[in-house]
Structure 1
Amino acid sequence: MVRRILVATTNLGKRREILSILREYEVEVLFPEEDLKVEEGSCSFLENAYLKAKAYYEVYKIPTLAEDSGLVVPSLDGYPGVYSSRFYNLEWGGKEEPKEGKDKANINKLLRLMEGKQDRRAYYVAFAVLFLEDGGLWSEGRCYGTILQEPVGEGGFGYDPIFQPEGFQKSMAQLSMEEKNLISHRGKALRRIMQMLK
């Protein structure tokens, strides 16, 4: 049985969220001391997660969990997609100056491109990979919703202030951590991984 898992991320928002999700399982959660700067650039969330998990496993030699996630907007041809974290800097749709940080620049660009669009459907998707010495496991989680007209709420990170999950009258950024973990793409993917591990 796996007793310790390294979670391959240095993103503080993701760390807090993952730690709160994995708290219900009897496993010690560790985080890397340094960011390995794994070259992603893949067209696939799953491949990116695999590359991260493998790279960190090779350094730390303990079971390693990595995930890659993003926001998919059908009316924008699936963008931001795998480029979610650096969407502001993509030539596609025009670059956005990160004056108030990358998250705000990503949100500003997305809202600009959504102007006048009737179809505001979107979903968050996460792929999680657990890299083990004798193989590995992977899972997928999704959270469906719509893009709001403007940011609402101070919680969460990334696109949470402009994403309204199905069944809620508030943005992802207005949900408590407990509410978010129950419905989030990351929560679903990580719980499936842990259930498979059992």
Structure 2
Amino acid sequence: MSTGVPAGARLVLATRNAGKLRELRELLRGRIEGLDVDTQVIDAAAAGVPDVPETGVTFEANSLLKARAVAEATGLAAIADDSGLAVDVLGGAPGIFSARWSGRHGDDAANLDLLLAQLSDIADEHRGAAFVCAAALALPGGHTVVERAELRGTLLTAPRGNGGFGYDPILRPEGYDRSCAELSPEEKNAISHRGQAFRALLPAIVAALA
């Protein structure tokens, strides 16, 4: 085990995103006897693991790359996810390039502006899209499990709402009259692509840590 891993840690989430770590801890809370999620489920920063380059060409490949690298570095079970927006008329793009669609990684406003400009002449009935997430579990012995989930919806012509992040302000989920950025955190977590993928992965996580 890496000397940078806190004593007692049992599961590492390959992220430095505090929100993702909080979601995973709540998902696991009370599900595994003897697991203290607040101290034994940690993120990559707490484990002292550097960022893993996302060199894969699919969401699944990138999530596996990160999970395997963290499991190998720490000697612990590791979870990683990769997610993005897949637009039907763009053949699934931005896809794995969602966070850097405008050329600058993580510039949400620029990414939104560029995508909306590219779709400016697309009619509502052809503005279908989905948030996609692939979540992977990797164990130090090499065993892996990957789950994929989607949140289908329609792209709006202008951003709406102040919640969420990324492309949330322009995707209206199926069955809703609000964008993802207009949903409460509880509403969004109940239907989100990431929440679905992590919940699908839950049985494998429980089996690995039980």
Question: Could you say which TM-score interval applies, normalised by the shorter chain?
Answer: 0.7 to 0.9
Q: Deviations over 1:67-123 (max 9, x none)?
A: 01110001112110010111111xxxxxxx79xx60111111111111010211000
* Larger displacement relative to structure 2 (37-46 or 156-165): 37-46
Structure-to-structure mapping, 1:70-89, within 5 angstroms: 70-89=84-103
Q: What CA distance in whole angstroms lies between the structure 1 residues aligned with 2:86 and 2:42?
A: 30
Amino acid of the residue matched to residue 72 of structure 1? A
**Aligned equivalents of 1:128 and 1:191: distance in 2?**
10
**Partner residue in 2 for 1:132:** 139
Q: Which residue of 2 aligns with 1:179?
A: 187
The answer on 1:36 being equivalent to 2:50 is yes
How far is 1:162 from its partner? 0.7
1:1-198 alignment runs, 5 A limit = 4-23=10-29, 25-26=31-32, 27=35, 28=37, 29-33=41-45, 36-89=50-103, 102-118=107-123, 119-134=126-141, 135-198=143-206
CA distance in 2, matches of 1:35, 1:168: 39
CA deviation after TM superposition for structure 1 residue 32, in Å? 1.7
| Distance in 2 (alpha carbons) for counterparts of 1:19 and 1:153 | 27
Rounded to whole Å, the distance in 2 between the matches of 1:20 and 1:165 is 24
Distance 1:153 1:24, change over 3 A: farther
- Is the CA contact (8 Å cut-off) linking 1:21 and 1:181 kept in structure 2? no
Q: Which amino acid aligns with 1:187?
A: G
C-alpha contact (below 8 Å) 2:21/2:42 kept by paired residues: no
- RMSD over aligned CA atoms reads 2.1
Q: CA deviation at 1:61?
A: 1.6
User: TM-score with structure 1 length normalisation?
Assistant: 0.86
Change (3 A) 1:171 1:17: farther
User: Aligned partner of 2:20: which letter?
Assistant: K
Instruction: For residue 19 of structure 1, report the CA deviation from its aligned partner.
Output: 4.2
Mark the runs of 5 or more structure 2 residues left unpaired by the alignment: 1-8
- 1:67 is paired with a residue whose SS is strand
Residue 14 of structure 2 contacts residue 79 of structure 2 at CA under 8 Å; is this kept in 1?
A: yes
Higher mean C-alpha deviation, range 101-110 or range 116-125: 101-110
**Displacement, 1:193?**
0.5
* TM-score for the superposition, normalised by structure 2: 0.81
Q: Identity across aligned pairs (percent)?
A: 40
Report which stretch shifted further, 151-160 or 17-26.
17-26
**AA in 1 matched with 2:140:** E
Unaligned runs of 5+ in 1: 90-96
When Rg is computed on C-alpha atoms for both structures, the one with the higher figure is 2
Judged with a 3 Å threshold, the aligned counterparts in structure 2 of structure 1 residues 121 and 104 are, in CA distance, closer, same or farther, namely same
Inter-partner Cα distance in structure 2 for 1:22 and 1:53: 18
